Structure 1
Amino acid sequence: MDFNEWLVGFTGELSGFLYTYILLLLLVVVGVYFTIRTKAVQLRYLKDMFSQLTEKKHVEGERSISSFQALMVSTASRVGTGNIAGVATAIATGGPGAVFWMGLMAIVGAASAFVESTLAQIWKVRGKEGEFRGGPAYYIEQALGKRWLGILFAVLLILCFAFGFNGLQAFNATSSLEYYIPDYATNGAAIACGIVLAVMTAFVIFGGAKRISVITSIIVPIMAVGYIAIAVWTTIANIGELPKVFGMVLASAFDFQAIFGGFAGSVVMLGIKRGLYSNEAGMGSAPNAAATASVSHPCKQGLVQSLSVYIDTLLICTCSAMMVLVFYVQDPEAAAALNGMPLVQMAVNNSVGEMGIHFITFAIFAFAFSSLIGNYFYAESNLRFIKGNSRALLFVFRIVCLGIIFYGAVNSFDLAWNLADIFMGFMAMVNLVAIMLLGKWALKVLDDYTAQRKAGKDPVFVADTIEGLPPTECWHVEELKEYGKPPVKEYLDDQIEVEYAGLN
Structure 2
Amino acid sequence: MKYLQTIFQFIGDMTWGWSLIPFLIVLGAFFTLASGFVQFRFFGRMFRMLFPGQSLPAEGHVSSREALLISVGGRVGGGNIAGVAVAITLGGPGAVFWMWVVALVGMATSFFECTLAQLYKRAEGDGTYRGGPAQYILHGLGPQYKWLATAYAISLIAVFALGFNAFQGNTVAAAAQDSLGLSRIWTGIGLAILTGFVVYGGIKRIAQAADVVVPIMAAGYIGMALVVIALNITHVPAMMVTIVKNAFGFEAVVSGGVGAAIANGVRRGLFSNEAGLGSAPNVAAVAYARHPVSQGIVQSLSVFIDTVVICSCTAFVILLGNVYVPGVEGVDGVALTQQSLSSHVGAWSQYFLTGATLLFAFSSIIYNYYLGENALTVFTERTEPRHALRILIIGVIFVGSSAPKATEVFFFSDPVMGILALINLLAMTMLFPIGMRVLKDYKDQLKQGKEHPVFEPAKFADLDIDLDAWKFDPTPAPAPEKAADEGREVVNRT
Q: TM-score, normalised by structure 2?
A: 0.90
Q: Who is 2:481 aligned against?
A: none
In structure 2, the CA distance between the partners of 1:361 and 1:335, relative to structure 1 (3 Å rule), is farther
Q: What pairs up with 1:115-154 in 2 under 5 angstroms? A: 115-145=112-142, 146-154=145-153
8 Å contact 1:298–1:461 — kept in the other structure? Answer: yes
How many Å separate the matches in 1 of 2:251 and 2:93?
A: 15
How many Å separate the matches in 1 of 2:312 and 2:331?
A: 19
8 Å contact 2:97–2:243 — kept in the other structure? Answer: yes
| 2:272 aligned residue (272, 278, 290) | 278
State the shift of 1:179 in Å. Answer: 2.0
Question: Deviations for 1:369-408, whole angstroms, at most 9, x for unmatched residues?
Answer: 11001111111111123211x1222111111111111111
| 1:369 aligned residue (351, 362, 373) | 362
Q: Who is 1:486 aligned against?
A: 475
- Asked if 1:296 corresponds to 2:299, the answer is no
Q: What pairs up with 1:303-342 in 2 under 5 angstroms? A: 303-328=297-322, 332=325, 337-342=330-335
8 Å contact 1:85–1:341 — kept in the other structure? Answer: yes
Q: How many residues align?
A: 474
State the shift of 1:249 in Å. Answer: 0.7
- Asked if 1:155 corresponds to 2:144, the answer is no
Q: Who is 1:81 aligned against?
A: 78
In structure 2, the CA distance between the partners of 1:231 and 1:13, relative to structure 1 (3 Å rule), is farther
Q: Who is 1:410 aligned against?
A: 402
8 Å contact 1:259–1:267 — kept in the other structure? Answer: no
> What residue ranges of structure 1 are gaps of 5+ in the alignment?
490-503
Q: What pairs up with 1:376-395 in 2 under 5 angstroms? A: 376-388=369-381, 390-395=382-387
Question: Deviations for 1:333-378, whole angstroms, at most 9, x for unmatched residues?
Answer: 8985221111000110011111211111111111011100111111
How many Å separate the matches in 2 of 1:385 and 1:17?
A: 27
Percent of aligned pairs sharing the same letter = 38
Other structure's SS at 1:20 match: coil
State the shift of 1:243 in Å. Answer: 2.3
Q: Who is 2:173 aligned against?
A: 174
State the shift of 1:109 in Å. Answer: 0.5
Q: Who is 1:465 aligned against?
A: 459
Q: Who is 1:70 aligned against?
A: 67
In structure 2, the CA distance between the partners of 1:263 and 1:246, relative to structure 1 (3 Å rule), is closer
Q: Who is 1:439 aligned against?
A: 432
State the shift of 1:60 in Å. Answer: 6.8
| 2:210 aligned residue (206, 216, 223) | 216
| 1:191 aligned residue (165, 185, 189) | 185
State the shift of 1:463 in Å. Answer: 2.2
Structure having the higher helix fraction is 1
Question: Deviations for 1:64-84, whole angstroms, at most 9, x for unmatched residues?
Answer: 200000001111110000001
State the shift of 1:486 in Å. Answer: 1.6
In structure 2, the CA distance between the partners of 1:69 and 1:156, relative to structure 1 (3 Å rule), is same
8 Å contact 2:12–2:416 — kept in the other structure? Answer: no
The 10-residue stretch of structure 1 (159-168 or 330-339) with the greater mean CA deviation from structure 2: 330-339
8 Å contact 1:163–1:404 — kept in the other structure? Answer: yes
How many Å separate the matches in 2 of 1:85 and 1:267?
A: 17
| 2:338 aligned residue (340, 345, 348) | 345
In structure 2, the CA distance between the partners of 1:275 and 1:456, relative to structure 1 (3 Å rule), is same
How many Å separate the matches in 2 of 1:13 and 1:262?
A: 24
In structure 2, the CA distance between the partners of 1:327 and 1:488, relative to structure 1 (3 Å rule), is closer
Counterpart of 2:293, as a letter, is C
In structure 2, the CA distance between the partners of 1:258 and 1:203, relative to structure 1 (3 Å rule), is same
In structure 2, the CA distance between the partners of 1:415 and 1:8, relative to structure 1 (3 Å rule), is farther
Counterpart of 1:408, as a letter, is G
Question: Deviations for 1:316-347, whole angstroms, at most 9, x for unmatched residues?
Answer: 0000000000014x763898522111100011
State the shift of 1:25 in Å. Answer: 1.0
8 Å contact 2:166–2:401 — kept in the other structure? Answer: yes
Other structure's SS at 2:36 match: coil
RMSD: 2.5
8 Å contact 2:122–2:468 — kept in the other structure? Answer: no
8 Å contact 2:88–2:96 — kept in the other structure? Answer: yes
Q: TM-score, normalised by structure 1?
A: 0.89
How many Å separate the matches in 2 of 1:485 and 1:465?
A: 16
8 Å contact 2:245–2:251 — kept in the other structure? Answer: no
How many Å separate the matches in 2 of 1:136 and 1:470?
A: 16
In structure 2, the CA distance between the partners of 1:138 and 1:44, relative to structure 1 (3 Å rule), is same
- Asked if 1:46 corresponds to 2:43, the answer is yes
Counterpart of 1:132, as a letter, is Y
In structure 2, the CA distance between the partners of 1:282 and 1:227, relative to structure 1 (3 Å rule), is same
Other structure's SS at 1:385 match: coil
How many Å separate the matches in 2 of 1:55 and 1:142?
A: 33
The 10-residue stretch of structure 1 (228-237 or 336-345) with the greater mean CA deviation from structure 2: 336-345
How many Å separate the matches in 2 of 1:469 and 1:269?
A: 43
State the shift of 1:7 in Å. Answer: 4.9
8 Å contact 1:117–1:301 — kept in the other structure? Answer: yes
In structure 2, the CA distance between the partners of 1:474 and 1:421, relative to structure 1 (3 Å rule), is farther
How many Å separate the matches in 1 of 2:78 and 2:269?
A: 14
Question: Deviations for 1:78-123, whole angstroms, at most 9, x for unmatched residues?
Answer: 0000001100100011100000000011000100000000000000
How many Å separate the matches in 2 of 1:36 and 1:354?
A: 47
In structure 2, the CA distance between the partners of 1:260 and 1:323, relative to structure 1 (3 Å rule), is closer
In structure 2, the CA distance between the partners of 1:99 and 1:331, relative to structure 1 (3 Å rule), is closer
How many Å separate the matches in 1 of 2:278 and 2:187?
A: 31
Question: Deviations for 1:47-78, whole angstroms, at most 9, x for unmatched residues?
Answer: 1111111257648773x200000001111110
> What residue ranges of structure 2 are gaps of 5+ in the alignment?
479-493
State the shift of 1:17 in Å. Answer: 4.7
8 Å contact 1:20–1:264 — kept in the other structure? Answer: no
